[in-house]
Amino acid sequence: MDHSILKTLTHVEGRAMTDVPANHVSLRMDNVQLVIAVKRGQRPSIVHWGRALAHSAPEEFEVLSTRQWAFGGPTEDVAPSLSNELGAGLGGPSGLLAHRDGGDWASFLRVEQVEMVTAQHVRIHCRDKNVGLGVTYDVALGPDHAALSITISVKNEGDAALFIAWAPVMAMPLDERLSRVWGVTGRWAHEFEVQEIGAHRGTYLRENKAGRTSHDNFPGLIALAPFTHETAGPCAGFHLGWSGNNRVRIDRHTDGRSFVQMGELFFPGEMKLDAGEVYRSPTLYAVWSDTGLNTLSQSFHRVLRQDILDGRSRAKPRLVHYNTWEAVYFDHGEDKSMALADRAAAVGAERFVLDDGWFGGRRSDRAGLGDWTVSSAVYPNGLHPLVDHVRSLGMEFGIWFEPEMVNPDSDLYRQHPDWVLNARGVEQVPFREQYTLDLTRPEVSAYLFDAIDAIVKDYRVDYIKWDMNRDSTHPGGMDQRPVIHRQTHAVYSLMDRLRRAHPELEIESCASGGARADFGILRYTDRVWTSDNNDALDRQRIQRGASYFFPPDVLGSHVGPKRCHITGRMFDMEFRAATAMLGHMGMELDLSEETDADLDVLRRAIALYKAHRALIHSGDLYRLEASDYLNMVGVVAKDQSAALFSCAKVEGHSTTLPGRIRFAGLAPDKHYLTRLIWPTHPPSVTAPSIVEAADLCGDGTVFRGEALVHFGIQLPLMHPNSCLLYHLESVEG
Ligand code: GLA
């Protein structure tokens, strides 16, 4: 081997440049490094994405990863490209697919120019002069987290129209150790189900054409090694920040390489670029961790908190909600709503959200969507008396809209039957008696802005619950071309316009629960409605699944009725309240049906949430490894000075007593005053137990972080469907 190669090749790290003076760019943050080969005139290629290797040069990686000719394949190894476009000649499923009426399909992109936009953000301009295609990759790492944010733009530099059939944001090579895949699936009331797919050859593919992020095909996945778990091992996570149709795939090629591709799913002919037009992709967030899944999630949480959410919800604590839906459904009335507000305020609610049923002819889900004026049938005095009452109780006022939808039985539809998405000659699929409006028509977006703006102004609305309750199955626009790409941008624009007009207005993204939860919508909203399912036991799983990507601050989490309306199961208030506390807490039940004792428990839970929400909504989230009968999740302050861990017993165990639990994220040498702050009574079903031995429900005991993490603490014997909250506070040793 020629050793001089390591000395003579150059690379650039964190330095501005306008041409390609070097062969590689390297972005590094915390323990993560991305190295891309950017030799001018050649294909751009990811050389390394993984642990930061501070003492090694990119050129070493290239030599170390030299592949060779193998029988039955090309006589020279074909390197991957950032888009694995057809002309690049790599075997296996392709990346970018574009053509001009069947011609110009063999695009082959070569590096032209590299810009360091900042020390942590590189822009790589590539071109195929032959077919008239320009592709620009924007890749940023950090600045204050180890998540990559990647977008591409594709420009038609030819004269004739260019059709893009598939434009994955980037073909991300997977470390070959990551043989397991966790996909995220689900259904209504059962969101964020993590599904393991073992080692495979070929393709893992998920396609979402619901016109929203969907319940069943969340655009995120995690790849992990056989030995990876929450606190150790390599893993990579991917999430497409996009609320429209998408495709997610992992292709494990026969040559041993694997790629993750995520991008928009286009309907036939949907992405047509005329001469000079540019397609801009949504952002792909990609996270690497060498230290297990908790670190991976923390990177997702940081990028969301720091780069995506806007300042309005960070500027104040996450207020305790009272939502009217499960208390009254469509049976509204001024007195009734005021009484709900009284009871909500009495237990500590800080925001009253008037759900579906306040407008037009909306006395059931069969009519009225689209007619966004207050119903005089149910609120003959308008909403002012209610809103004034809510404010006099010290609460903010929030209200429900489903802007993108219309019931055929509505004044709006009677006036504008042509305003809906459709495919000519094809019956609409029945779906909650409603159709999707075509927001790419400027008059539709203008109508919705004016209607919502008028209500927000009139009532000084603080918060909108923005719902979206059907799949858009036949998304043809005015000229019958499919429009989900443009429709999704139109929704973002409408939200953006409203937020600019009302700088303090907060918005919740709801779509029959969690069917529009993604980092794209969270640029314009402040939280997601995680699930319509308020069954505390199901919520333990749903919230754990969601936590791989989303931090607790954005996950709406409500205390539901004693008997869950969706599952029919019954849980006591201690369990319901504890489950809601580790998110953005709220209530969604008829409080008049609760006993005084339960209302008192709820009041105490809300007070506890308020006392600890600053920690819950800013700390690092840790999921703990434990037996299946437990679900343990906690939050540790950034400076490790405090922590709150929830330990839910979700089923019985086969041993007489449960085992010890081990916390995570604590500083080994700090001393932590350890107490049980929930439930409101000593939780052990027999005594004495560790509860008394360590005075956990009283003054607590000080233990070293190291002991709590590596030795662990014995669990008391408790009933299934109960939940402990441990509070740990560092004290002088
Ligand atoms: C959807 C939402 C619910 C509620 C209803 C109202 O199902 O997910 O929370 O707002 O719509 O119709």
Domain chopping of the chain, boundaries: 3-63+80-308, 311-619, 622-731
State if residue 175 touches ligand 1 by the CB under 6 angstroms criterion: no
Quick one: tokens of 453?
A: 């703006």
Contact call for residues 112 and 125 (beta carbons, < 8 A)? yes
- Of the residues 104, 409, 471, 532, only one is catalytic, namely 532
Rounded Cα gap, residues 410 and 293, in angstroms: 48
Rounded Cα gap, residues 328 and 326, in angstroms: 6
Rounded Cα gap, residues 363 and 194, in angstroms: 37
Superfamily of domain 3-63+80-308: alpha-galactosidase from lactobacil brevis (2.70.98.60)
Q: How many A from CA of 521 to the centre of ligand 1? A: 18
State if residue 264 touches ligand 1 by the CB under 6 angstroms criterion: no
Output the pLDDT for position 43: 97
356 is known as an active-site residue? no
One fold for 3-63+80-308 and 311-619:
no
532 is known as an active-site residue? yes
Rounded Cα gap, residues 73 and 519, in angstroms: 40
- Of the residues 104, 138, 409, 467, only one is catalytic, namely 467
Beta carbons within 10 angstroms of residue 430's beta carbon: 9
Low-confidence ranges of the chain (pLDDT < 70): 1-21
Output the pLDDT for position 317: 97
Would you say the pTM of this structure is higher than 0.85? yes
State if residue 508 touches ligand 1 by the CB under 6 angstroms criterion: no
The topology under which CATH files domain 622-731 is: Immunoglobulin-like (2.60.40)
Rounded Cα gap, residues 182 and 198, in angstroms: 9
State if residue 402 touches ligand 1 by the CB under 6 angstroms criterion: no
| Pocket test residue of 510, 557, 588 for ligand 1, highest count of atoms within 8 A of CB | 510
Output the pLDDT for position 339: 98
Q: Tell whether domain 311-619 is in CATH 3.40.50.720.
A: no
Contact call for residues 114 and 123 (beta carbons, < 8 A)? yes
By three-state DSSP, how is residue 72 classified? coil
Quick one: tokens of 174?
A: 């997977």
Q: How many A from CA of 271 to the centre of ligand 1? A: 32
Contact call for residues 217 and 246 (beta carbons, < 8 A)? yes
DSSP state of 287: E
Output the pLDDT for position 21: 53
State if residue 435 touches ligand 1 by the CB under 6 angstroms criterion: no
Q: How many A from CA of 510 to the centre of ligand 1? A: 8
What is the residue whose two structure tokens read 């607590």? 700
Output the pLDDT for position 5: 33
Rounded Cα gap, residues 358 and 376, in angstroms: 9
| Pocket test residue of 464, 512, 533 for ligand 1, highest count of atoms within 8 A of CB | 512
